[in-house]
Amino acid sequence: KQEVTQIPAALSVPEGENLVLNCSFTDSAIYNLQWFRQDPGKGLTSLLLIQSSQREQTSGRLNASLDKSSGRSTLYIAASQPGDSATYLCAVTGGATNKLIFGTGTLLAVQP
């Protein structure tokens, strides 16, 4: 059974810092991995999608990497801003279905 873990569970940084969020998964036979952002009481916003054949994806200040063999992904946020404060979730898709298995989440607070 696929299990997805995120470290740290919570992170507080001053504005302007670069930071890394970690995601690990137990079954490397994934189809893709996604990073999402969730604001309090809201739905999910997809940030980056990495196919299993890819090593990384970039969007603006965000860069996500994938090391499928070791079961790890990182989300790098450059020059963090208070508006980046949210919960960040990673999720993997694997097997014959399109089910998403979500990680435990990292609650990020960027202090002005």
- List interacting residues with other proteins (CB under 8 A): 32, 34, 36, 41-46, 49, 89, 91, 97-105
- Tokens 């208070």 belong to residue: 82
Closest distance between other proteins and the C-beta of residue 50, in Å? 11
The token pair that represents 41 in the structure block = 């009481």
Shorter beta-carbon distance to other proteins: residue 69 or 98: 98
- Tokens 């694997």 belong to residue: 94
Shorter beta-carbon distance to other proteins: residue 46 or 81: 46
CA distances, 49 to each of 14, 100, 109 (Å)? 27, 12, 23
| Rounded (to 5) percent helix, strand, coil in the chain | 5, 60, 40
Closest distance between other proteins and the C-beta of residue 38, in Å? 9
Shorter beta-carbon distance to other proteins: residue 69 or 96: 96
Closest distance between other proteins and the C-beta of residue 94, in Å? 13
